[in-house]
Amino acid sequence: MDFLPLFFNLNDRQVLLVGGGDIALRKARLLKRAGVGLTVISHAVDEELRALLTDDRDEIILGDYHSDLLEGKTLVVAATDDAELHRQVHAEAVARNIPINVVDTPKLCSFIFPAIVDRSPIVIGITSGGQSPVLARLLRARLETLIPKGYSSLGGLVGRFRDRVKARFNSLNDRRQFWENVLEGQIAEKVFSGRHDEAESMLVSAINRGDAGHKTGEVYLVGAGPGDPELLTFKALRLMQQADVVFYDNLVSPGVLDLCRRDADLIYVGKRRDHHTVPQDDINALLVKHAKLGRRVVRLKGGDPFIFGRGGEELEELKAHGIPFQVVPGITAASACSTYAGIPLTHRGYAQSVKFVTGQLKNRQQALDFKELIQPNQTVVFYMGLHTLPQISAGLMAHGRAPDTPIAIVSHGTSVDQKVLIGTLADIATKQEQAQLPAPALIIVGNVVRLYEKLAWFGETAPSDNITHALGMVRSEARFTEANVA
């Protein structure tokens, strides 16, 4: 270990900053966040840096650096383009046992500034020891996406009640168990959702009850999006990472499943046309059962839970049994697949409204209101309509939609297997019979489909015959296999 990571309390301490340009400004911003009084020595000082120094403890000195400026300073930062000056400041600071950072010169640093994830009072520092600051910043960016801003409020809540918990529980193990349940349970989730008063009230009640071993189950109804793991929301990923059990559908991709907590139970309850592995009523009962066992349950659904996903039916059952729940929206297939195919659902020159329609209804009875689906300047998106494509196209034409109206089928949208079939209402059924694009697939009807050849961006250029468009994607993440799901 080249540098020992330490956290210094610099509040009300004096720091010397040698330099007044852009680099000095970046360091000054960080130092002022730590509550220091800052002395800046330079021949010229950036106006933004001047504006930052508003504290009575701050001082700007225009002129040459000299060693007397080190008197009474806790830290020194040298941020100029003068290598000789940097060596002088370093030598004189070291002689006085004052920690010094010389920007971009690790060998002249007795301390370094890490890349910081700030969720104060929770602070994470990442360093490469000066070898690769860019890599440290990239790692920080990864952590920023995984750690909600709410951890700041959560850390503050814990800090305010730490002494009360210590007084309530004599055993170190009891205190540890209590805080684990708080930080991984409903109280933390209340904080993350901005319901701070409720969180504090629940924490006070838990302390008064002394229920260090108490754990309440909860269900998270999570939209898994269209298949590409990178399209998950931050909140979805966080809840998937803390789940005890995950019930997932057929449309949830292996890549998304691979992001669930490694030791979670993964239970397949998917549905394909005419084949339900687990009936809906049984799924509802499973969610209730596992939540009542005190488990954190994720119900993972392809796309968005409330768009043809039966999410409302499942929540009705949870509500009836008093099970707490959260709903995390996902990117629905209509938006994702059309975007990846380069087909805007609305466009000023083509369509000013869009309708989402399911190709089937409850009990497999199709009851499409074709009169509502043939309005001009409108895009219609059919979910689960591949098996009734001939009836859909025939019905639209029979009710007045022009036979040359463009239509697209997007199969396995957003995935490496995505394919697009372009045609018209008159010929799309024949083209699909030849192409045999597989489900899951989305059907887009409307003049916006004419933009496909111009705007297609995901993979290869559209072929001239407009029959199939095989699209590919190079992922920046690890490859996913079926073995991950087993």
Q: What are the pLDDT digits (tens) for 251-285? A: 999 999 999 998 999 999 986 655 556 899 999 99
Q: Is 362 a catalytic residue?
A: no
- The catalytic position among 32, 235, 271, 355 is 271
Class of the CATH-defined domain 218-331: alpha beta
Q: Which residues touch 349 (CB under 8 Å, ≥6 apart)?
A: none
pLDDT at 2: 81
pLDDT band for position 242 (50/70/90)? confident
Q: Is 107 a catalytic residue?
A: no
May I ask the CATH architecture of the domain 14-113? 3-Layer(aba) Sandwich (3.40)
CATH of domain 335-470: 3.30.950.10
pLDDT band for position 189 (50/70/90)? confident
Q: Which residues touch 284 (CB under 8 Å, ≥6 apart)?
A: 313, 314, 317, 318
- The catalytic position among 249, 301, 419, 431 is 249
pLDDT band for position 477 (50/70/90)? very low
Q: What are the pLDDT digits (tens) for 438-448? A: 999 999 999 99
Mean pLDDT calculated for residue range 219-245: 92
Q: Which parts are annotated binding residues?
A: 22-23, 43-44, 226, 302-304, 307, 332-333, 384, 413
pLDDT at 273: 56
pLDDT at 111: 93
Spatial CA neighbour of 445 closest among 408, 418, 390: 408
**By mean pLDDT, which of 86-100, 231-245, 347-361, 370-384 is the weakest?**
347-361
Contact assessment for residue 359 and residue 381, using Cβ atoms and an 8 Å cutoff: no
Q: Do domains 14-113 and 218-331 have the same CATH topology?
A: no
Share above pLDDT 90 across residues of the chain, in percent, rounded to a whole number = 72
Give how far Cα 443 sits from Cα of 387, 392, 407, Å: 11, 10, 7
Q: Which parts are annotated binding residues for NAD(+)?
A: 22-23, 43-44
Contact assessment for residue 313 and residue 209, using Cβ atoms and an 8 Å cutoff: no
Domain boundaries defined on the chain = 14-113, 150-209, 218-331, 335-470
Kindly tell me if the per-residue pLDDT of 364 is higher than 50. Answer: no
Contact assessment for residue 485 and residue 475, using Cβ atoms and an 8 Å cutoff: no
For residues 141 and 125, what is the distance between their CA atoms, to the nearest angstrom? Answer: 12
- The structure's pTM equals 0.69
Q: What are the pLDDT digits (tens) for 120-153? A: 999 999 999 888 889 999 999 989 887 888 999 9
Supply the mean pLDDT for the chain. Answer: 88
